[in-house]
Amino acid sequence: MAFKVPDWVRYEIQQRWERLAINLRGWVNKNPRVVIGITIASVSILLIVVILLLIPDETVKVEEYEKDWFYDVNTGKLFVAKKDLVPPVESPWGPLADGVPAGVRAYVFSYKPDPNESERFIGFLEIPDPNFNPDSVNSQLKGAGLWGQGKLIRKVEDEQWYPANSAEGQAILIEFFQPNEEGEVAIYYPPE
C-alpha cells in the first residue's frame, strides 16, 4: 500500500506556494532595478564562464635544440655537435687508438638555472646499442618508456655500458635524478 498525502496537506502546500509566488511577484514589481542587476550579473557570469571554457589551453612548447653535447672519451672534454649525429662521432681531438671516433653523447646538467662552467656536470653518457633489434620493442611503450630502447648508458667514471632500460641502466638514472643535499633536482643544460 502506497503512502498517500492527505488532501488537507496538499491544499496547505498549494496555498503557501501561491502566497509565495504572489509575494515574489510583488517584490519584483517593487524592485525592478535589483532584478535587472541580478539578471545582468548572472548573464555576465555565464558569458565569462562560456568564454573561459571555449579558450583553448596553452600548450607547453618543448624547446628543440639543434645541437647537443658530446664527450671525447680520450680527453674527457665536452664538445658541441649537431643533434642528429649518431655516436660515436668525430671528436675535435681525434679518434680512439683503434681508429673509432671518440665522441659519445653526453647529458649535461646543473642545479642552477644559468650555470657557469664549474656549475655544470655530466650526468651520464649514451651510445646506441649495436645489438638492439627494433622489432623487439614493446608496442605499448610510450614517451619516457621508449627513450631507453636501443641505448646504452654509463657514468663518466665507469667503463661498462648498460642498456638504459636494464636494471643497471635504471639505477644510473634513478641515482642521478635524486635531489642533492640542498634538495635541488638536476636540470638539463643545453649547449649554446
Q: In this predicted structure, what is the pLDDT of residue 83?
A: 87
Q: How does DSSP assign 167-181, residue by residue? A: HHHHHHHHHHTS--T
pLDDT digits (tens, 9 = 90+) for 70-117: 999 988 899 999 988 888 889 888 888 888 888 999 998 888 877 777
Determine the angle formed by the axes of helices 7-30 and 32-54, rounding to 10 degrees.
90
Set of cell numbers at residue 33: 532595478
Among residues 145, 163, 143, the alpha carbon closest in space to that of 154 is found at 163
φ, ψ dihedrals at 107, nearest 5°: -105, 110
Is 102 buried (19+), middle (13-18) or exposed (0-12) by CB count in 10 A? buried
Residue 19, pLDDT > 80, answer yes
Residue 42, pLDDT > 80, answer yes
Dist CA 192 CA 186 (whole Å): 18
Q: In this predicted structure, what is the pLDDT of residue 136?
A: 67
pLDDT digits (tens, 9 = 90+) for 126-185: 988 888 776 666 666 666 566 777 888 889 898 899 888 888 888 888 887 888 888 888
Contact 77, 71 (CB under 8 A): yes
